[in-house]
Copies of this chain bind each other. A is one copy, B any other.
Amino acid sequence: MRILLINGPNLNLLGTRNPEVYGSMTLADIVERVRQRGEQLGAEIVPFQANAEGAIIDFIQTNAPGADGILINAGAFTHYSLAIRDAFEAVGKPFVEVHISNVHAREEFRHHSVLADIAVAQVAGLGWRGYIAALDSLVGILKERQ
């Protein structure tokens, strides 16, 4: 089983900035933990990070066809990138939207996601654990569908 792990703009700064909001783990740390859990669950993790919307769309178009599911923390793109939304709709693979912080407790503009209504699920506020939680459940759901 192959799972894409996409992180959007500014998430490459994780662990070095605003640790009170996003925690002290770096993106590399999180990717490694997700990779390890994936190993336990029999799922290969394909990580990707970009600050550019177009790069994320390119990655989805290229890699989603060969993957079983996707975890995405689209960062700020969550709230306006209809182009990423369309990419997900086009490739048609199940994805889970993850947010490290509880977006519903932050600025008004972070309450709305343009991805959530076509996602399988949304996980917000569980910190780095949210990626693990989403992976566990997504793999479980995918196995059930087989």
Contacts and interface: CB of A to CB of B under 8 A. Distances in A.
Interface of A: 8-10, 12-13, 17-18, 50-55, 57-58, 61, 75-77, 79-83, 85-87, 89-92, 96, 102, 104-105, 109, 111-114, 116-127, 129-130, 132-134, 136-138, 140-141
Nearest to A13: B90
B117 A105 contact: yes
Contact of A80 (B54, B82, B102): B82
Nearest to A87: B10
A74 B102 CA distance: 18
B130 A61 contact: no
A118 B107 CA distance: 12
A130 B90 CA distance: 21
Contacts of A118: 105
A121 to B, nearest CB: 3
Nearest to A118: B105
B57 A54 contact: no
B76 A85 contact: yes
A124 to B, nearest CB: 5
A118 to B, nearest CB: 7
A15 to B, nearest CB: 11
A73 B128 CA distance: 22
A50 B127 CA distance: 30
